Amino acid sequence: MRKLTVVTAGLSNPSTTRSVADQLTKAVQTAVSARGESWILK
């Protein structure tokens, strides 16, 4: 099982760091799921 921790600290709304974190999370989820592995997002 894989774990991914995503931390954002942007001040604007919407935050650029939040947007990048969301894109990263989606890409990792897609890649890990495609390999048939489970994962946890924290």
pTM of this prediction exceeds 0.85? no
Residue 1 has pLDDT above 70, yes or no: no
Query: Is 23 within a domain?
Result: yes
Query: Is 34 within a domain?
Result: yes
pLDDT at 17: 87
C-alpha torsion 15→2→27→34, nearest 10: -160
Query: Is 19 within a domain?
Result: yes
Domain count, the chain: 1
Task: Give, in order, the Cα–Cα distances in Å from 8 to each of 14, 31, 35, 37, 38.
Answer: 11, 21, 27, 25, 23
Query: How far apart, in whole angstroms, are the C-alpha atoms of residue 40 and residue 32?
Result: 11
Query: How far apart, in whole angstroms, are the C-alpha atoms of residue 4 and residue 29?
Result: 9
Summarised one tens digit per residue, pLDDT across range 2-37 is 777 888 887 888 888 889 989 998 998 899 889 988
Domain that holds residue 26: 14-42
